[in-house]
Homo-oligomer: A and B are copies of this chain.
Amino acid sequence: MKIVKLSELKKNPNFKQIMKRSQQNYAPVSFVVKKIMAEVKLNGDEAVRKYTKKFDRVDIVNTKVSRQEIKEAYTKVSKEFLKALAQAIRNISLVQKNQMQSRALKIVRPVIGVRVWNKWQAIEKVGLYVPGGRAQYPSSVLMNGIPAKLAGCKNIAIATPPRSDGLVAPELLVAADKIGIVDIYKIGGAQAIAAFTYGTSSVTKVSKIVGPGNSYVAAAKLTGFVAGEISIDLPAGPSEVFIIADETVNPKFVAADLMADAEHGPDGAVVLITTSASLAQAVLLEIEKNIGRFSTQENIRNSINSFGLFALVETLDEAIVFANDYAPEHIQIMTKNASKVAKRITNAGSIFVGIYTCKSAGDYATGANHVLPTGGAAKMFGGLSVFDFMRLVECQSCDVNGLRKIKDTIETFASAENLPAHKYSCSVRFKGK
């Protein structure tokens, strides 16, 4: 890793790759995903079973996790895990409930006799995809499930790929059970998304699918969305951390957070922007000193080499402008007056303020959501929240006097837009009066 000057970044041959990060390319999987979706639409559970056999190498007849399996999961998880789960659930719930307070929308009376109001209404049926395979992410269950529950969704189902023994990791089952989700299906990949999108005999069709996944899952979600069958959450790509630091910070902290982000996979993006050349040097040394201790070191090295950037700036202003252009998933502000700097960050998924707000704190325990926009999508999307599980339903009511007060406006617009029956639908209410 070379430390460069940010002002000279555009000259860097790697500039485009650094800005774009690793982008999912659906072209290679698009054909097979469409085939799987079509087959599940046609043959339901039978097609699901076929693809589970093929991809997960296990034959499952009844994909729904039984009460007994959930009960047994409790005997397989540690006490520490149950304790950690309890604090995470509590904190995430507190943060998400706070968002709910903005639900109360009062009635507007633009003229006397006309009332317009909104109601937040939960999406009734949602599907949560939780990745499986080698990794297992009970925290994903919480981050997707708690806002869905608090929003008031009635049917919440989880799909997750079965392990080769035909079971699901007990931590996942316990996490789901603790937040009150009991419909859990041992189905993964595009076949899981297809089952949620179209419904099968055993899986209920949903209106929205959320949760991260590999390129098959992502391509299947997009296919269902384009077909108009489901809505989906923000696109989730490889993890990203962007640290703005000055000379006041302990380089150990910075190195640790960069490595934490980079260990998720070989294509994470890790950016350090600093006013201090000596800090940048010290961070590099710290990484080299410690990387060997992690089983995930290969991911860390690959991420840093492919999508890493260590750059120097003259002023924090320069760093802030670049951060808002880069629009990172996570941004950590480790400078003097960190709060002041944080206020000027407009494009980011989550802003971590101060040196003790380590990346993993936000991933698991502060209560903030860790489902966040990547690849620059923070310019257009926010992190997952209760609002992703609700819709704003509009309500309006006129009495005869109210309608009279807006009659001219209605009729003039209807004429301007050449819609005579629109004009008539207003005027007929005053005929013979």
Contact = CB atoms under 8 A, between A and B. Distances in A.
B253 A428 contact: yes
A393 B118 CA distance: 23
Given A228-B235, A420-B296, A366 B406 contact: yes
A256 B296 contact: no
A106 B94 CA distance: 12
Interface string A234-254: 010000000000000000110
Contacts of A381: 231, 391
Contact of A264 (B26, B78, B419): B419
Nearest to A259: B421
Contacts of A94: 108, 110
A105 B114 contact: no
A40 interface: no
A110 B366 contact: yes
Contacts of A88: 409, 413
Contacts of A382: 121, 390-394
A252 B428 contact: yes
Given A354-B399, A364-B410, A420-B294, A394 B349 contact: yes
Interface in A115-131: 116, 118, 121, 123-125
A413 B91 CA distance: 14
Copy tally for this chain in the complex stands at 2
Contacts of A365: 406, 409-410, 413
14 contacts: A24-B228, A81-B412, A98-B105, A101-B106, A102-B103, A102-B105, A135-B418, A138-B416, A259-B425, A351-B396, A352-B397, A360-B422, A364-B406, A387-B387
Interface string A361-391: 1111111110010010111111101010011
Interface in A213-235: 222, 226, 228, 230-231, 235
Contacts of A387: 387, 392
Given A361-B396, A383-B394, A87 B416 contact: no
A16 interface: no
A402 interface: yes
Given A106-B98, A408-B84, A398 B293 contact: no
Contacts of A114: 91, 361, 366-367
A124 B361 contact: no
A282 interface: no
- Greatest chain B CB density within 10 A among A78, A91, A391, A400 is at A391
Contact of A424 (B259, B392, B406, B419): B259
Interface stretch (A67-75, A177-185, A308-316, A340-348): A340-348
B379 A123 contact: yes
A417 B137 contact: yes
B424 A393 contact: no
A139 B102 CA distance: 28
Contact of A377 (B228, B354, B397, B409): B228
Interface string A29-73: 000000000000000000000000000000000000000000000
A290 interface: yes
B393 A349 contact: yes
B356 A399 contact: yes
A92 to B, nearest CB: 9
Contact of A396 (B121, B136, B171, B368): B368
A113 B90 CA distance: 16
A295 B420 contact: yes
A379 B124 contact: yes
Contacts of A429: 253, 256, 355-356, 358
A284 interface: no
B366 A228 contact: no
A260 interface: yes
